[in-house]
Structure 1
Amino acid sequence: MTKIKINGAQAWFLAARPKTLTAALIPVAAASALAFSNGHLEWLPTLLCVCFAALMQIAANFINDLFDFLKGTDGKDRLGPERACAQGWITPQAMRKGIILTIVPACAAGLGLLPFGGWGLAILGISCIIFAFLYTTLLSYCGLGDLLVWVFFGFVPVAGTYYVQAGQLIPEVWWLAAACGLVTDTLLVLNNYRDRDTDRISGKRTLIVTMGEPFGRYFYFLQGVAGYLCVAALALYGHTWVAILPMFYLLPHYLTWRKMVEINHGRELNRILGFTSRNMLTFALLVVAAFIAEKLQ
């Protein structure tokens, strides 16, 4: 890799981990597609939700980078992607400033949503910020990381995005939120599956460390299947296409799972991260395409 200038633009780009933005934008896209299908799509709140989700994801990446470095659990021998602080690309002092300079515009985007959803959204926004810190500093060490993904990459963004556009919540929102949370969590499960040995040594008690490797491999697979079943349940509310098109997500998910089990451990599992991100994006695009197809019929 080309030598990276300390605190330079390339260092910040790598620290932002742009590939993770897919996870943040999937629930916003899915909820907006549902709103479109129901005749409620509003572009301004949609764009504000996109900005808030993307900026909070970047802020969470910065927070994770900084606090893992300060804890001494993210050195250069880490199996996962290299972190900016651990590599010396960004100083801890600069990373602290970066966290603030990312959270502030995220809050501005959140404030812009208040006219569409009321002051109750402020509580959700504050919760997102608080748990972005708690995840790295506490909750990921006691097996609650998956729960946070289900909530903050599923129920909070899907319900929030739909509400600021439609002004109400309907049963379909909760099924869609569950689907997004489950499918997105496959990425965290894969990370924890890959890092299970180093996590055990560092005292990070993820579910896979606690329950063991066999649990981890099936947890990954079953979450993807459960995510599809949740969107398939939308057929009960007349969304037939949403039960059909996302079915094509299951084959690449299964093939990725087979490859993950075959590799089993080590740095080579980083390749599966790319496949998992691709599968998540495939799932989201199929869901969005299904809602659009229904609306245009």
Structure 2
Amino acid sequence: MSSLRISFLATRPRFLVITLLGCFIGFLTAYNTNKQPWPINALAVIGVLLAHASANVLNDYFDYLNGSDLANVERIAPFTGGSRYIQNNIMKPSQVYGLGYALLAVVVLLGICLSYLSTWKLIPIGIAGMLIAWAYSAPPFQLMSRGIFGELAIGAAWSMVVIGFALLQTDFIVYQSIPLGAAYGFIVANILFLNQVPDITADQGANKITLAVRSEPNHLWKWYAIFLISAYACQLAAVLYGQTPCLTLVTILVLPLFIYCAMRLRKTPIDTAELTVIVPCNILGAHLYALLMCAGLFFGQ
């Protein structure tokens, strides 16, 4: 396998789709007032995807340092426990470290270029997004190890994807993109939260105190429900008090899948066999939610 292909796969590309869908939501939020040509939008998409890729790689490196991935024997591949490229001797730790920061450097250059070609108002959002990508895994912050702050960071990051893409189209903050971005952020944060559950034992041993580690097993489903309710509440607020099309509420169609995940998590919260079903179902639900949101925005305007 070529080194380029190895580096590409080390970014866990299949998980970048959720970010791409966030870009589409932001774009469609301001679809009727789009001022930017396709090359500018394409450049923005590349930058956002590379930022996510960098975060994935850095997370693998710092989980190698704390030992959580190596100790994780209950992972649900490929959804939890990292890429294991270091643990399986596919890449050296120094290579993973270098790749993560190289991607981050490229993101900086693309961000400067994009801001110059479009609007400098993107800079605060870009800086905040990059800081989260780094601070989520890297010391001294290591937000992934600080309970709910990890979920809040992820939620904020994906909210900014939606808000930033809407801003790119219009050159100003699109107010309806804020609750829609928050809704999407909660949905993505729920992916992170549920993916932490199979890793609880390994994370505890590595002193990686995630929200799942902090929670009692019988309370896990409650956190899942809180993030889910928050997402739909934000979306409903966007429809009732903003200019978001009512058709975006088509996302309710995927709600039964989320409820199914919550009910199974409540019944058997830390059963690996059950989680093997729940985790991919939740990820599928998040992608369907985003697709339905895009459809509602496109056909509702």
Q: TM-score range by the shorter chain?
A: 0.7 to 0.9
Q: Distance in 1 between matches of 2:260 and 2:216?
A: 22
Q: Distance in 2 between matches of 1:111 and 1:170?
A: 22
Q: TM-score, normalised by structure 2?
A: 0.86
Q: Distance in 1 between matches of 2:35 and 2:26?
A: 10
Q: Distance in 2 between matches of 1:128 and 1:175?
A: 18
Aligned equivalent of 1:227: 231
Structure 2 counterpart of 1:125, one-letter code: G
Pairwise CA RMSD: 2.3
Aligned equivalent of 1:112: 113
CA contact (8 A) 1:59 1:99 kept: yes
Deviates more, 1:278-287 or 1:124-133: 124-133
- Over 3 Å counting, the alpha-carbon distance change for 1:88 and 1:208 in structure 2 is same
Aligned equivalent of 2:288: 282
Aligned equivalent of 1:35: 30
Aligned equivalent of 1:159: 163
Q: Kindly provide the CA deviation profile for residues 136-166 of structure 1, in whole angstroms up to 9, marking residues without a partner as x.
A: 1322112210110121111x22221111111
Q: Which runs of 5+ in 2 are unaligned?
A: none
Shift of 1:114: 0.7
Percent identity over paired residues: 22
Structure 1 position 69 matched with structure 2 position 64:
yes
Shift of 1:267: 4.0
Structure 1 or 2: more helix by fraction: 1
Q: Distance in 1 between matches of 2:7 and 2:271?
A: 27
Q: Distance in 2 between matches of 1:49 and 1:270?
A: 35
Structure 1 position 260 matched with structure 2 position 265:
yes
Shift of 1:245: 0.9
Match of 2:213 among 199, 209, 215: 209
Shift of 1:188: 0.7
Deviates more, 1:163-172 or 1:113-122: 113-122
Shift of 1:253: 1.2
- Over 3 Å counting, the alpha-carbon distance change for 1:120 and 1:293 in structure 2 is closer
- Over 3 Å counting, the alpha-carbon distance change for 1:190 and 1:12 in structure 2 is same
Q: Distance in 2 between matches of 1:242 and 1:175?
A: 16
Structure 1 position 17 matched with structure 2 position 18:
no
- Over 3 Å counting, the alpha-carbon distance change for 1:77 and 1:173 in structure 2 is closer
Q: Distance in 1 between matches of 2:101 and 2:92?
A: 15
Q: Distance in 2 between matches of 1:114 and 1:87?
A: 40
Shift of 1:290: 0.7
Deviates more, 1:23-32 or 1:123-132: 123-132
Structure 1 position 99 matched with structure 2 position 94:
no
Q: Distance in 1 between matches of 2:94 and 2:103?
A: 15
Q: Distance in 1 between matches of 2:295 and 2:101?
A: 36
Q: Distance in 2 between matches of 1:41 and 1:35?
A: 9
- Over 3 Å counting, the alpha-carbon distance change for 1:117 and 1:216 in structure 2 is farther
Q: Which runs of 5+ in 1 are unaligned?
A: none
Q: Distance in 1 between matches of 2:34 and 2:119?
A: 17
CA contact (8 A) 1:241 1:293 kept: no
Shift of 1:185: 0.7
Structure 2 counterpart of 1:255, one-letter code: Y
CA contact (8 A) 1:185 1:223 kept: yes
Q: Distance in 1 between matches of 2:182 and 2:129?
A: 18
- Over 3 Å counting, the alpha-carbon distance change for 1:104 and 1:202 in structure 2 is closer
Q: TM-score, normalised by structure 1?
A: 0.87
- Over 3 Å counting, the alpha-carbon distance change for 1:119 and 1:48 in structure 2 is same
Q: Distance in 1 between matches of 2:27 and 2:211?
A: 32
- Over 3 Å counting, the alpha-carbon distance change for 1:264 and 1:55 in structure 2 is same
Q: Distance in 2 between matches of 1:242 and 1:232?
A: 11
Structure 1 position 149 matched with structure 2 position 154:
yes
Q: How many residues are matched? A: 288
Q: Kindly provide the CA deviation profile for residues 251-293 of structure 1, in whole angstroms up to 9, marking residues without a partner as x.
A: 1111232333444225432443322221111111111111111
- Over 3 Å counting, the alpha-carbon distance change for 1:16 and 1:192 in structure 2 is same
Q: Distance in 2 between matches of 1:173 and 1:231?
A: 10
Structure 1 counterpart of 2:56, one-letter code: N
- Over 3 Å counting, the alpha-carbon distance change for 1:232 and 1:127 in structure 2 is closer
